[in-house]
Structure 1
Amino acid sequence: MIEAPSFHALAAMLLTVAVFVAFARGKPSIEIVSLFTIALIGVFLYFYPMPHTQQTDGLALAFAGFGHPALITICALMIMGRGLVVTGALEPAARVLEQVWKFNLQLGLLVSILLAMFLSMIVNDTPVLVLLMPIFIALAARGAMPASKTLMPLNAAVLIGGMATTIGTSTNLLVVGIAVDLGMPQMSVFHYTPIVLAAALVALPYLWLVMPRLLPDNSPEAGLAPRRFFAHLRVTPQSELVDKHFDEIVEKLPGDFRFEERPGGAFAVGQRMLISGTHDGLENAIRVLRGQVAPSWVIDEITSDSQERGEDIQIVEMVVTADSRLIGRTLATSGIADHYGVAVLGVHKPETIGPQQDHRKSLRIAEGDVLLAMGLQEELEAFVSGDSLLQLEGAREMPRRSKALLAGAIMFFAIALASVGIPWVGSEGFYLLKVPIAISALTGSIAMFVTGCVKFDRVGRALSAKVIVLVAASIAIGRIVLESGAAGWLGEVLAMGLQYLPAAGVLAAIMIFVTVLTNFASNATAATVGTPIAFAIATELGLPQEPLILAVLFGCNLCYATPIAYQTNMLIMAEGNYQFGDYVKTGVPLVLIMVVTLSFLLVTTYGM
């Protein structure tokens, strides 16, 4: 007969359920619920400390998450991801994938999912997601699927791929290590890979075709047409346009860019034509075509000043007010570059330019026009105040492309450090020393700061307060569930009922139990609690031990249903602007698919 749970175990289970309900409702906000949970645990354990602990031990448990390696790892990975974005290091990879997405959106998503699965089989899943996530954010900005519709399937694919080998996640290594300590033989890297790959094929249609449809479009500009800027493009001697006809270059043009006037013959050096496009469209077209939309001398001057002063180049949008001296002038006669050292890349007009209008007159600046201006902060502020302009929110920094290669090398080194290791000579001779992901991520983030890829005053843009407090709260919940005895009591209850189930039912029940622990506590907790329980159940019921241990390992990786289940879930939360309910809605069906499929495959493989 199983004894009733202790007072603290019952309180821990009730708290976990209450927090889940609050997260799922979305009110109050995740930040408020997380902070309240931490405070409640600290106060409760102060007045009602667990056996053999001091009152202050409860405070240490409640606030331990803020100094936990998992949170430090997540913050460091966010900083490294920021370094890749602001330097434009991932633009070449994004352009390659963009061609696939441009050919067909569904094909692009399928290729991306398969790529994520493959990479996470041989490289730890967290660095894989950190590497791919900025690429998908860039693709979304260039007109592919919204990031909120692709990051969740991408994360699930990374987790499934990481489950396929013993080196895919640190949790896999933990389960295998505990199993060896219990007397089982060591599993090889690809010991159970065929089982996971077969399950992945079953889950693939859901990831590819169903999950994106269940997710909202959380793009900041969802439902709003982006501004279209007009400019005159001048063909330079170095331009890709020289001596080519329009039909020869049309395939290279971004979808959000077009020529408003088409030359009758081949493009010639010095030729000027009216073009239009979104901010990104203009930038990509200028890069591909190597033409000019602003005087080259002012662009060179801005770049030189940026390097000398150590400041980032910014691109901002400014509205022309009724008091501006620019009204009625053209860009050529405005003197903006001479007076302020600012380059105007394009003009957005509230009313679309008609084909019957004279193009040069149509670019005459009027009240309400929006100028796309590039420069350094001091010069841009002088331009705003001097010419009576209104700066809009959402200023963007130009990528520091001179440091792109360096940022990519730092990220590669950090991933290699955690996944492969570094050559090391010790008392045991020459070997590869594998470094914990927390240490490699911290090393990479420090390198990003030292080399200037990420600036200290920009760290706030890389980190998400919502993710930080959510991680801290989830760590506190996981510790109280484990230390109060709640996890152990649930395991005993599970073991009592399994004797009446067939082999497939036993495997599914163990997997679901571990999955619940994973999604509400942590996968480390689930591995620590679940592995010995599965070993004991196998011995008691006379079943082979290996498939039950694998059921625990698989369950630890089925962490799709809540953002607190795994650090990659939290990494995508801010970028995809996800709510707690988005994880539940898309994750629970995937968990059920994987549990049913993996249970059947384990029974079939081991002849149970």
Structure 2
Amino acid sequence: MIEPPSFHAIAAMVVTVAMFFGFARSRLSTEIVSLLTIAVIAVFLYFFPLPDTKPTDGLSLAFSGFGHYALITICALMIMGRGLVVTGALEPAAQILERLFKWNLQIGLLVSLVAAMLLSMAVNDTPVLVLLLPIFVSLAARGALPASKTLIPLNAAVLIGGMATTIGTSTNILVVSIAMDLGLPEMSVFHFTPIVLFAAAIALPYLWLVMPRLLKDNRIEETRESRRFQARLRVSEDGPLTGESLADILPRLGKDVRVHNPPVGKLHPQQRLLISGTQEGIESAMRLLRGEVAPDWVLSKIKRQADARGDDVIVVEMAVTADSRLIGRTLPSSGIADLYGVAVLGVHRPDRWTGGQKEQTDHSDTDLRFAEGDVLMVTGLRAELEEFARGDSLLMLEGMRELPRRSKAVLAAVIMGGAIVTASIGLFPIAISALAGAILMFVTGCVKFDRVGRALSAKVIVLVAASIAVGQIIDASGAAAWLGMVLASGMSSLAPAFVLAAVMLFVTVLTNFASNATAATVGTPIAFSIATQLGLPPEPLVLAVLFGCNLCYATPIAYQTNMLIMGEGSYEFSDYIRTGVPLVLLMVTTLSVLLVLTYRL
């Protein structure tokens, strides 16, 4: 006869269900629900302490998430991801995937999902997602699929791949270690890989074709049309433009850039192309075609000064006011580069370059005289840009943006690679590798201390802290152990296939509401107990626990990678439920059948 749960166990289950209900309804923000959960746990344990504890111990449990290694690890990983973005270290990979997505969006997504699965089989899934996350955010900004439609499928692919080997996740290692302590023979790295690969092949169509359609496009639409700038792109000596015809080049530029008064024949060094496009379009054309829209000497000077000072190179838009000395002058006669050390990359004139609809192409940028209302796209260091704006009576507009510090791109990639390798081979725990990588990002200048806030998400921080507190009270109150006993007592009359499915589903629910470690710690002994009572081999039941611990798709609090993508994809709690629950049911059914067939139960 199973005794009823304790008062604290009942309270822990009520708090967990209430938090889940609050997240699912979305009446309150994720941050508010998370903070309320922490507050309720703190107040409850102060007035009703757990056995053999003091009231203040409850406060420590409730707020321990803010200092927990999992939260620190997630923050460190987000900082390292920021370092890859601001240095442009992921540009080569992003460009390859961008070309694939431009060729075919669906094929690009399929290749990405398969690559993520295979990569996470050998490398811990958290570093894999950290590596891929900024690439897909960058792709979304360049016109590929929205990040909100790709990040949840990508995360699921990473988690499925990590489930395929004993080293794929730290949870796998924990389950295998506990099982060995209980008497199960040691499993090889690829002991259960065929089972997972078969299940992955069945789940892949859902990730690829169905899951993106269940997710909304969370991109924030621009409320105004982007300004289009006129610029002159110079053909460099060793760039890909030399010797090419313009017809061969145009597909590389994309729809955002147009070429006016196109030259006839092959292009030659130092030739200049009159182009128009948005700020992002012109910068993309400069990067892809390795051409410049400003004199080399001033761009080189800006780069040297940035390296010497440790400052960022900035691109900003400035409007010409009525009392500016530039009115009536041309760009060469203005002496902007000589006087201020900044470079004008392009000029926008409202009555000339309005989205490409009203164009005049009979003027060049050399004889265009500045007029009131013109908007200049200018690059340089912050101090020089501010001096230019003051000295020539210009109005700095919104949209100031830092250019990637590409001189540190290789360094940032090496730091990230070192963190991934040392964590994946088990040389250091992921927390130590991530923290060491974040420190190196700061020390080397890949990420600046005053920009850390841009890398971190307040929503993720309080959500992680709340989930840790809930996981700890579920474990400490005995709620998890009581649920396990109830599960074991009701299985005596079930067929082996249903026993496997029930164990896997129980652990899956536990891991989605508490933590992988709690599910592994509680579930593995329960699996051995059930196998002994029912006369079943323990290995398939242990694998049911291992697989269930990895089926953490249904809530953002289930695993740290779920939280990493939450801010970038602008996801709500309901997005995880809507897409994750069908995937959980599909994987539980498939894996249970495969275990029954493999072990001939």
Q: After TM superposition, is the score higher than 0.5?
A: yes
Compute the displacement of 1:100 (Å). 1.4
Residues 607/236 of structure 1: CA separation in 2 closer, same or farther (3 Å cut): closer
Q: How does 1:174-213 map to 2 (within 5 A)?
A: 174-213=174-213
Task: Specify the SS of the correspondent of 1:435.
Answer: coil
My pick for the range that moved more, 236-245 or 577-586, is 236-245
CA deviation string 1:340-374 (max 9, x = no partner): 32212123444245455524389654555443221
| CA distance in 1: counterparts of 2:478 and 2:572, whole angstroms | 30
Matched, 1:399 2:392: no
| CA distance in 2: counterparts of 1:32 and 1:136, whole angstroms | 29
| CA distance in 2: counterparts of 1:508 and 1:227, whole angstroms | 57
Structure 1 vs Structure 2 CA RMSD = 2.0
Determine the structure 2 residue equivalent to 1:96: 96
| CA distance in 1: counterparts of 2:316 and 2:513, whole angstroms | 43
| CA distance in 2: counterparts of 1:136 and 1:258, whole angstroms | 26
Q: Structure 1 counterpart of 2:362, which letter?
A: D
| CA distance in 2: counterparts of 1:346 and 1:453, whole angstroms | 28
Give the length in aligned residue pairs: 596
Compute the displacement of 1:222 (Å). 6.2
User: Percent of counterpart pairs with the same letter?
Assistant: 70
| CA distance in 2: counterparts of 1:440 and 1:152, whole angstroms | 25
Matched, 1:418 2:423: yes
What TM-score do you get using the length of structure 1 for normalisation? 0.94
Residues 227/508 of structure 1: CA separation in 2 closer, same or farther (3 Å cut): farther
Determine the structure 2 residue equivalent to 1:234: 234
Determine the structure 2 residue equivalent to 1:513: 506
Q: How does 1:23-422 map to 2 (within 5 A)?
A: 23-221=23-221, 226-321=226-321, 324-327=324-327, 329-350=329-350, 351-352=354-355, 354-355=358-359, 357-360=361-364, 364-421=369-426
Determine the structure 2 residue equivalent to 1:534: 527
CA deviation string 1:213-236 (max 9, x = no partner): 111222234686544332122334
Task: Specify the SS of the correspondent of 2:345.
Answer: strand
Determine the structure 1 residue equivalent to 2:469: 476
CA deviation string 1:546-601 (max 9, x = no partner): 11111111110010111110010111111111111111111111111111111111
> Is the Cα–Cα contact under 8 Å of residues 230 and 363 in structure 1 kept in the other structure?
no
Compute the displacement of 1:415 (Å). 1.0
Q: Of 434, 442, 452, which residue of structure 1 is paired with 2:435? A: 442
Task: Specify the SS of the correspondent of 2:274.
Answer: strand
> Is the Cα–Cα contact under 8 Å of residues 274 and 359 in structure 1 kept in the other structure?
no
| CA distance in 1: counterparts of 2:422 and 2:173, whole angstroms | 17
Residues 467/394 of structure 1: CA separation in 2 closer, same or farther (3 Å cut): farther
Consecutive unaligned residues in structure 1, runs of 5 or more: 422-433
Task: Specify the SS of the correspondent of 2:378.
Answer: strand
Compute the displacement of 1:535 (Å). 1.2
Compute the displacement of 1:244 (Å). 2.7
Matched, 1:461 2:454: yes
CA deviation string 1:136-168 (max 9, x = no partner): 112112221111111111100000000000100
| CA distance in 2: counterparts of 1:145 and 1:545, whole angstroms | 44
Q: Structure 2 counterpart of 1:15, which letter?
A: V
Determine the structure 2 residue equivalent to 1:486: 479
| CA distance in 1: counterparts of 2:349 and 2:5, whole angstroms | 69
Compute the displacement of 1:241 (Å). 2.5
Q: Of 496, 503, 507, which residue of structure 2 is paired with 1:503? A: 496
Task: Specify the SS of the correspondent of 1:498.
Answer: coil
| CA distance in 2: counterparts of 1:19 and 1:348, whole angstroms | 51
> Is the Cα–Cα contact under 8 Å of residues 225 and 355 in structure 2 kept in the other structure?
no
Residues 281/177 of structure 1: CA separation in 2 closer, same or farther (3 Å cut): same
Task: Specify the SS of the correspondent of 2:143.
Answer: coil
CA deviation string 1:527-550 (max 9, x = no partner): 111111111111111222111111
Task: Specify the SS of the correspondent of 2:250.
Answer: helix
What TM-score do you get using the length of structure 2 for normalisation? 0.95
Task: Specify the SS of the correspondent of 1:187.
Answer: coil
| CA distance in 1: counterparts of 2:144 and 2:233, whole angstroms | 26
> Is the Cα–Cα contact under 8 Å of residues 389 and 396 in structure 2 kept in the other structure?
yes
Determine the structure 2 residue equivalent to 1:580: 573
> Is the Cα–Cα contact under 8 Å of residues 236 and 269 in structure 2 kept in the other structure?
yes
| CA distance in 1: counterparts of 2:38 and 2:399, whole angstroms | 34
| CA distance in 2: counterparts of 1:359 and 1:570, whole angstroms | 52
Matched, 1:551 2:544: yes
| CA distance in 2: counterparts of 1:556 and 1:223, whole angstroms | 44
Task: Specify the SS of the correspondent of 2:437.
Answer: helix
> Is the Cα–Cα contact under 8 Å of residues 254 and 284 in structure 1 kept in the other structure?
no
Compute the displacement of 1:182 (Å). 1.1
| CA distance in 2: counterparts of 1:407 and 1:325, whole angstroms | 43
> Is the Cα–Cα contact under 8 Å of residues 340 and 388 in structure 2 kept in the other structure?
yes
Compute the displacement of 1:251 (Å). 4.1
Residues 365/508 of structure 1: CA separation in 2 closer, same or farther (3 Å cut): farther
My pick for the range that moved more, 38-47 or 333-342, is 333-342
Q: Structure 2 counterpart of 1:395, which letter?
A: M
Task: Specify the SS of the correspondent of 1:371.
Answer: strand
CA deviation string 1:448-490 (max 9, x = no partner): 1111111111111111111111111100000000100111111
Residues 204/364 of structure 1: CA separation in 2 closer, same or farther (3 Å cut): farther
> Is the Cα–Cα contact under 8 Å of residues 315 and 397 in structure 1 kept in the other structure?
yes
> Is the Cα–Cα contact under 8 Å of residues 261 and 361 in structure 2 kept in the other structure?
no
Compute the displacement of 1:83 (Å). 1.1
Task: Specify the SS of the correspondent of 1:372.
Answer: strand
Q: Structure 2 counterpart of 1:404, which letter?
A: A
Q: Structure 2 counterpart of 1:558, which letter?
A: L
Residues 223/578 of structure 1: CA separation in 2 closer, same or farther (3 Å cut): farther
> Is the Cα–Cα contact under 8 Å of residues 65 and 471 in structure 1 kept in the other structure?
yes
CA deviation string 1:44-97 (max 9, x = no partner): 111110111111110111111111111111111111111111111111111122
Residues 42/355 of structure 1: CA separation in 2 closer, same or farther (3 Å cut): closer
| CA distance in 1: counterparts of 2:170 and 2:224, whole angstroms | 43
> Is the Cα–Cα contact under 8 Å of residues 464 and 574 in structure 1 kept in the other structure?
yes
Residues 325/505 of structure 1: CA separation in 2 closer, same or farther (3 Å cut): farther
Compute the displacement of 1:116 (Å). 0.3
Residues 381/221 of structure 1: CA separation in 2 closer, same or farther (3 Å cut): farther
Compute the displacement of 1:385 (Å). 3.5
| CA distance in 2: counterparts of 1:46 and 1:191, whole angstroms | 47
| CA distance in 1: counterparts of 2:512 and 2:223, whole angstroms | 34
Compute the displacement of 1:42 (Å). 1.2
My pick for the range that moved more, 221-230 or 452-461, is 221-230
Task: Specify the SS of the correspondent of 2:233.
Answer: strand
| CA distance in 1: counterparts of 2:225 and 2:513, whole angstroms | 40
Q: Structure 1 counterpart of 2:405, which letter?
A: R
Q: Structure 1 counterpart of 2:485, which letter?
A: E
Compute the displacement of 1:508 (Å). 1.4
My pick for the range that moved more, 250-259 or 208-217, is 250-259
| CA distance in 2: counterparts of 1:461 and 1:404, whole angstroms | 19
Q: Structure 2 counterpart of 1:417, which letter?
A: T
> Is the Cα–Cα contact under 8 Å of residues 260 and 361 in structure 2 kept in the other structure?
no
Q: Structure 2 counterpart of 1:392, which letter?
A: L
Task: Specify the SS of the correspondent of 1:259.
Answer: strand
Determine the structure 2 residue equivalent to 1:592: 585
Compute the displacement of 1:438 (Å). 0.5
